[in-house]
Amino acid sequence: MNPALADRVVVVTGASSGIGRALARLLIDAGARVIAVARSRERLAALAAELGDALVPVPTDVTDAAAVARLAAAAGAVDVVVNNAGIGHVEPFLASDPARWRVTIDTNLVGALLMVRAFLPEMLAAGRGLIVNVGSTSAGGWPHLTLYAASKAALQTATNALEREHAGRGVRFLCVEIGPTAGTDFGTHSEPEHLPTAARAWTELGIAWQDPTTPEASARVIHDAIARACAE
């Protein structure tokens, strides 16, 4: 139990697997109530069965503005929104599919901003709230991750702009940077033949990718950032 998080209502997107799933567990252990958001109804149901009544599963596609608006209306007043849902592909830029560019940007950037637009008015009216956008170390410009890195860099910039635009109104905006994490769906979206080439490029550039952390460790970074902000 964490006094800063006890009885807080936290929305977590991308909650059905990886970092989001681990974060939902940590938040519930800290005493929070979690509204778990993801596209997979089956995975969310399994998570609810595991974590009990403190988790409310709400299947939602964050790229669908109408679905996000329905989510916010059903959720009511919340204390924290964590925009964790994300997708990425390891691939050479010239081999990438422009159709997947849109999916990446829509999920990682537009989806997060749709969540902000849906939940922010209620937070501003209440004069309190916290919105956490999950960023990435790749935003510095990792090769073979062009669209993913660009989407996360844009998310960082958007977070800064939102924080400045709404300063002094009781709502905080954070972008929490996460490094390479094993045990997520990220690698499953990539062609196996592209991975060794990317790994060589990252190594030559001195990018620390060889020792990825676990979903639980990355979730702990986000959990601790939320706890600190809620305790202030």
Residue written as token pair 């800064």: 160
**Candidates 119, 142, 148, 173; catalytic one:** 148
Query: What's the CA angle centered on 5, arms 4 and 8, to 5 degrees?
Result: 125
| DSSP letters for 176-223 | EEE--BSSSSTGGGS-TTHHHHHHHHHHHTT---SS-B-HHHHHHHHH
Alpha-carbon distance of 49 to 51, in angstroms, equals 6
Residue 106, amino acid: D
Q: Hey, CA dihedral for 59, 55, 158, 161, is it positive or negative? A: positive
148 assigned to active site: yes
Q: Are 184 and 215 in contact (CB under 8 A)?
A: yes
The three-state secondary structure class of 226 is helix
Alpha-carbon distance of 12 to 27, in angstroms, equals 10
Cβ atoms within 10 A of the Cβ of 131, count? 26
| Beta strand 80-83 pairing with 9-13 | parallel
Positions marked catalytic? 148
